[in-house]
Amino acid sequence: MNRTVETLLREATARLTGIGDTPRLDAELLLCHAIDRPRSWLFAWPEQILEGEAVRRFDKLVEERLRGVPIAYLVGRREFWSLDLEVTPDTLVPRPETERLVELALERLPPDSRGWVADLGTGSGAIALAIARERPALQVVGIDQSGAACRVATGNAHRLGLGNAHFVRGHWASALAPSRLLMIVSNPPYVEEGDPCLSRGDLLHEPRSALTAGRDGLTAFRTLLPSAVAALQAGGWLLVEHGEEQGRVVEALLRGAGLQEVSDHTDLAGRPRVAIGRVAASAAS
């Protein structure tokens, strides 16, 4: 049956209600993807009749969304820090709360900063690319254990023309030279292994290794901290995203790893989210 744009959107919105928080927006994004048009086209042509292959593609996308597949994977794209990023099921979908980590990093990197910054567990490269865009005189290296994620991130850097962002496969900071980096940022896996949220909604379709680390969710922090601290120069900063219940314990882990000036910061929704510490400045500086 031939239906108008508006009818298709209304029907899909009704079906998607209860799957995520934005069913109408999700329906619009899926329809745009199915017919390869920008969102403005939907608003300009609500009475346009759609038929055939385009409608079948749209129906299939709605079916997949009903199974919980994240919109970002269905359309292959996600915006982060106003950057249009490719994402695939090999990468975590970048979250808006992680933009807070970028803000806090930029506050500690003067605009003319030179030198190297690393993003551990970079995934699609979201954090590394945002910093590379805002601080063109810096070199940023994103590291991920997944070769597939590194390929996605490298493709994003090329498409965005960010020649100062580089991506390599590796295990946290273990391959980095000692005492070189100005800053290390990371959004590691931190969800507790038994957390029921892992079997619900979008998280079910994201890479488990990017979400969860050990029974208490702290294994990645414990593993990455020693090599990260060793890779930082005197006065260098470490910033890590964490779960909203983990602020105190992650602060303690940072202090235990020898970092100073340790503090914890909330995200835009007011939830504890980013812990920060600093390597002692050298006596000479």
Residue closest to 242 by CA, chosen among 216, 209, 260, 261: 216
Q: Which of 73, 81, 167, 190 binds ligand GLN (CB under 6 A)?
A: 190
Q: Which is nearer to ligand GLN, 91 or 187 (CB)?
A: 187
172 binds ligand GLN (CB under 6 A): no
CA atoms in the 13 A half-sphere facing the CB of 6: 6
Q: Which of 191, 205, 214, 265 binds ligand GLN (CB under 6 A)?
A: 191
Render 194-253 in DSSP notation, one character per residue: T-GGGGSGGGGGS-HHHHB-STTS-HHHHHHHHHHHHHEEEEEEEEEE--TT-HHHHHHH
Taking the C-alpha atoms of residue 173 and residue 231, their distance in angstroms, rounded to an integer, is 7
189 binds ligand GLN (CB under 6 A): yes
CB 5 within 8 A of CB 50: yes
CB of 47 to ligand GLN, least distance (A): 39
CA atoms in the 13 A half-sphere facing the CB of 210: 26
CB 147 within 8 A of CB 124: no
CB 137 within 8 A of CB 75: no
Q: 162: which 2 tokens?
A: 């960010």
237 binds ligand GLN (CB under 6 A): no
Span near ligand GLN by CB under 6 A; candidates 152-160, 185-193, 231-239, 262-270: 185-193
Residue closest to 251 by CA, chosen among 231, 271, 265, 232: 265
Q: 184: which 2 tokens?
A: 């290390």
Using CB under 6 A as the binding rule, the residues of this chain from 200 to 229 that contact ligand GLN are 203, 211
Span near ligand GLN by CB under 6 A; candidates 55-63, 108-116, 129-137, 187-195: 187-195
Span near ligand GLN by CB under 6 A; candidates 26-34, 44-52, 165-173, 182-190: 182-190
Span near ligand GLN by CB under 6 A; candidates 57-65, 83-91, 186-194, 260-268: 186-194
Q: Which of 91, 156, 187, 233 binds ligand GLN (CB under 6 A)?
A: 187
Q: Which is nearer to ligand GLN, 155 or 214 (CB)?
A: 214
Span near ligand GLN by CB under 6 A; candidates 27-35, 107-115, 184-192, 276-284: 184-192
Q: Which of 37, 57, 95, 180 binds ligand GLN (CB under 6 A)?
A: 95
Residue closest to 98 by CA, chosen among 188, 18, 176: 188
**Which residues here bind ligand GLN, judged by CB under 6 A?**
95, 187, 189-191, 203, 211
